[in-house]
Amino acid sequence: MYEISVEQHFDAAHFLRGYKGKCEALHGHRFLVIVTLKAEKLDEIGMAYDFTVLKKQLGEITGRFDHSCLNDFAPFDKNKPLFGKHRHDGLQGT
């Protein structure tokens, strides 16, 4: 089994609707996204996946959210904890 991983940070704000506390107000975080792909075999030049392509694909996904308010995006607009799933779905089929 072979693995390749890339990671990127992005900064974004959000707020928790209906929360009784400081997090109800707009505030920000630095998010770390790590993507790891596994491959059973290597391609004809000995690569599990092109690192440069994977890094670019992750950048396209995280770039949508960098310096934004996550509440402006579905499914995050309703305090749903689907951030990891969104990232996973964004890389499907690539």
Domain count, the chain: 1
Instruction: State which residues form the domain around 68.
Output: 2-91
Per-residue pLDDT tens over the stretch 80-94: 554 555 555 555 554
pLDDT tens for each residue of 25-75 = 999 999 999 999 999 999 999 999 999 999 999 999 999 999 999 999 877
Encoding tokens for residue 33?
């996204």
Mention every residue, 6+ apart, whose C-beta is less than 8 A from residue 79.
Answer: 16, 17, 18, 19
List the CATH number of the domain containing 16.
3.30.479.10
65: left (phi over 0), alpha (psi -120 to 50) or beta: alpha
Q: How confident is the model at residue 16 (pLDDT cuts 50, 70, 90)?
A: confident
